[in-house]
């Protein structure tokens, strides 16, 4: 027997309709590529998103047609988020940090029909447009009078001209909530990138779970700054969650340096910010150098990579900002866990609370997780056993676009599919996840697993170390042994032997790296993560200087 409640689909347009009706005058502030601050309201955004929908209708773009973006966090990008998905098309956010050839490959694979780009990325578009035959229209996210002349790009139009011709009246259509709303390519370690295809249902459920008090705790009293880019996993869903709760939204554009981000937080009264560790590192450096303090920032979510303990300490102890450590990935929309305390933790001493906060936290309601050993057997939640992390839930991927990689899911005894994350983790008795490594980065030494993240965190706690990457190199007896690759801070010195000695008492003897390799800089990938694959290639054939 069915219940007798209304059949109202969970659609992205319902987020916009809600914020327009109930929080129409809440602000959206954007740092533009031009450098100035643009300021308008959610009601203005909704009106222009409807114009986007009309422009796509006028062009005859079909339901599920792909509209790509190459853009920073800004109000026009936000209008595309809602106008494209709300009207039933698929928003395809491209990562501009990829090489133009890679972007072109992805555009062709996605069969994008419209591509909208910030003028920053004009050179990339000029380099690739000729090899993107599916794209019918190129839209520069600028005013009509700033449209670059003689760009050589056919059918190029300015965004303002494109939507300006359209009326703001439009009724968001109703359709199946399982329809695709957006896609994001993820660069696997091997082969071509694969696309995750989000649905309206998955996006709305994720936005709601992410706003809960035990997750990002978002309300109509917040001013939200997504430093995480809207071109990668939808800025952790913040453009959706902010609309759901009616928060003020502050979008930093291309100005991602520490000084600009700090100033934006202060001038706009930001209460909540989200970013990857590398961005916060530069901001904290700027603050320390200039003896600055926050006036309004209350909490920050840090994810994307494991956050160094020293950074969590700096935010909490020096600046009084709550740090919410998170774990997620493109295939999980992206949020899987967030670290907030339980009732029973509130009476613990500060130090024990701090130890819990170093973990990536508890599963959001909706996300199931488990860890399994190499034979697929489920491992205990004891905070010690480390295994491959598998997840399941309504905002977890079940397959990639066009069936790339076949069926990625691992069935359980009830034949329900689990997504293997490629992360290695422990889970403690209270359900707190701690990522110990990527499964491809873990170092397998004589049958034991060494967490590259643990070894890196020790190096990072040395005052002379700016960045550190631990990789495994071939060893005839142990299979693999860890080597730590280190970039020193400018003007700082530390020798190989000093650094190896620094590990004494901080790691078990067999976990201490066999060698240190000093480099000028550690290569970073397009989402800001360290490229260990590159490092491993550079170290192929590396001879350990001393046998253990």
Q: What is d(CA 15, CA 246) in angstroms, rounded to the nearest whole number?
A: 9
Omega prior to 228 cis, within 30 of 0? no
The one among 51, 102, 113, 199 contacting a copy of itself by CB under 8 A: 199
Q: What is d(CA 210, CA 245) in angstroms, rounded to the nearest whole number?
A: 11
| Catalytic residue chosen out of the listed positions 331, 337, 395, 436 | 331
CA atoms within 13 A on the CB side of 264: 31
> Which of residues 203 and 451 has its CB atom nearest to a copy of itself in the complex?
203
CB of 294 to a copy of itself, least distance (A): 17
The one among 397, 425, 507, 512 contacting a copy of itself by CB under 8 A: 397
Q: What is d(CA 44, CA 78) in angstroms, rounded to the nearest whole number?
A: 11
> In the window 244-283, what residues touch a copy of itself (CB under 8 A)?
244-248
> Which of residues 198 and 502 has its CB atom nearest to a copy of itself in the complex?
198
Active-site residue 331, yes or no?
yes
> Which of residues 241 and 451 has its CB atom nearest to a copy of itself in the complex?
241
Stretch that binds a copy of itself, among 177-185, 321-329, 444-452, 502-510 (CB under 8 A): 177-185
For residues 488 and 519, the answer to whether their CB atoms sit within 8 Å is no
> In the window 208-227, what residues touch a copy of itself (CB under 8 A)?
208-209, 211-214, 217-223
Across the strands, what pairs with 388? 372, 424
> Which of residues 168 and 417 has its CB atom nearest to a copy of itself in the complex?
417
> Which of residues 129 and 201 has its CB atom nearest to a copy of itself in the complex?
201
> Which of residues 242 and 467 has its CB atom nearest to a copy of itself in the complex?
242
Active-site residue 402, yes or no?
no
If binding is defined by CB under 8 A, does position 419 make contact with a copy of itself? yes
If binding is defined by CB under 8 A, does position 521 make contact with a copy of itself? no
Sheet with strand 156-158: strands edge to edge: 90-93, 66-70, 114-117, 137-140, 156-158
Q: How far is CA 13 from the centre of its chain?
A: 23
> Which of residues 383 and 394 has its CB atom nearest to a copy of itself in the complex?
394
Match 């100005």 to its residue by tokens.
255
Sheet with strand 322-328: strands edge to edge: 37-41, 27-31, 248-251, 223-226, 272-275, 299-302, 322-328, 335-338, 362-363
Task: Please count the residues of this chain forming the interface with a copy of itself, following the rule CB under 8 A.
Answer: 81
If binding is defined by CB under 8 A, does position 308 make contact with a copy of itself? no
> In the window 1-40, what residues touch a copy of itself (CB under 8 A)?
1-8, 10, 14-15, 17-18, 21-23, 25-26
| Catalytic residue chosen out of the listed positions 384, 444, 448, 495 | 444
Active-site residue 337, yes or no?
no
Closest by CA to 130, choosing from 109, 167, 101, is 101
Instruction: Kindly write out the interface string for residues 321-360 of this chain, putting x where it contacts a copy of itself by CB under 8 A and - elsewhere.
Output: ------------x------xxxxx-x--------------
Closest by CA to 193, choosing from 400, 332, 399, is 400
Q: What is d(CA 241, CA 211) in angstroms, rounded to the nearest whole number?
A: 6
Closest by CA to 530, choosing from 323, 217, 278, is 278
Stretch that binds a copy of itself, among 29-37, 191-199, 451-459, 516-524 (CB under 8 A): 191-199
Active-site residue 79, yes or no?
no
Q: Catalytic residues, which ones? A: 186, 331, 444, 449
């Amino acid at each position: 027997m069915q219940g007798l409640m209304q059949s109202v689909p969970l659609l992205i347009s319902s987020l916009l309709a809600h914020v327009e009706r109930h929080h129409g005058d809440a602000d959206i502030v954007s740092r533009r590529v031009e450098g100035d601050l643009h300021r308008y309201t959610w009601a203005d955004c909704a009106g222009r998103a409807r114009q986007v929908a009309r422009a796509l209708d006028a062009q005859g773009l079909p339901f599920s047609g792909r509209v790509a973006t190459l853009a920073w966090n800004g109000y026009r990008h936000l209008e595309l988020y809602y106008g494209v998905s709300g009207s039933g098309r698929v928003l395809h956010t491209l990562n501009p940090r990829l090489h133009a050839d890679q972007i072109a490959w992805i555009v062709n694979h996605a069969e994008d029909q419209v591509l909208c780009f910030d003028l920053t990325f004009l050179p990339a578009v000029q380099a690739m447009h000729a090899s993107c035959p599916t794209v019918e229209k190129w839209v520069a996210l600028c005013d009509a009078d700033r449209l670059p002349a003689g760009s050589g790009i056919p059918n190029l139009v300015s965004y303002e001209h494109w939507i300006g011709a359209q009326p703001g009246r439009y009724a968001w259509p109703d359709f199946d909530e399982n329809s695709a709303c957006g896609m994001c390519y993820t660069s696997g370690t091997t082969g071509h990138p694969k696309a995750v295809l989000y649905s309206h249902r998955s996006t709305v459920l994720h936005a709601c779970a992410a706003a809960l008090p035990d997750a990002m705790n978002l309300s109509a009293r917040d001013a939200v700054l997504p430093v995480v880019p809207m071109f990668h996993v939808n800025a952790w869903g913040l453009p959706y969650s902010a609309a759901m709760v009616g928060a003020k939204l502050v979008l930093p554009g291309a100005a991602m340096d520490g000084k600009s981000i700090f100033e934006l937080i202060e001038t706009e009264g930001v209460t909540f910010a989200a970013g990857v560790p590398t961005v916060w590192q530069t901001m904290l450096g700027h603050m320390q150098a200039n003896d600055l303090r926050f006036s309004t920032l209350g909490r920050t979510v840090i994810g994307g990579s494991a956050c160094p303990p020293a950074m969590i300490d700096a935010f909490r102890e020096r600046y009084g900002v709550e740090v919410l450590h998170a774990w997620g990935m493109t295939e999980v929309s992206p949020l899987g866990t967030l670290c907030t305390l339980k009732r029973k933790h509130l009476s613990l001493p500060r130090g024990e609370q701090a130890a819990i906060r170093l973990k990536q936290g508890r599963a959001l309601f909706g996300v199931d997780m488990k860890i399994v050993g190499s034979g697929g057997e489920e491992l205990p939640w004891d905070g010690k056993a480390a295994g491959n992390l598998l997840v399941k839930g309504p905002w977890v991927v079940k397959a990639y676009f066009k069936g790339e990689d076949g069926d990625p899911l691992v069935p359980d005894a009830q034949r329900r599919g689990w997504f293997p994350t490629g992360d290695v983790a422990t889970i403690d008795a209270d359900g707190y996840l701690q990522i110990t490594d990527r499964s491809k980065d873990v170092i397998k030494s004589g049958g034991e697993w060494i967490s590259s993240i643990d070894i890196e965190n020790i190096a990072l706690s040395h005052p002379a170390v700016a960045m550190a990457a631990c990789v495994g190199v071939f060893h005839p007896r142990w299979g693999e042994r860890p080597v730590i690759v280190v970039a020193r801070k400018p003007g700082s010195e530390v020798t190989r032997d000093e650094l190896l000695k620094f590990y004494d008492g901080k790691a078990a003897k067999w976990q201490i790296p066999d060698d240190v390799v000093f480099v000028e800089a550690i290569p970073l990938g397009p989402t800001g993560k360290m490229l260990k694959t590159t490092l491993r290639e550079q170290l192929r054939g590396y001879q350990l200087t001393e046998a253990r």
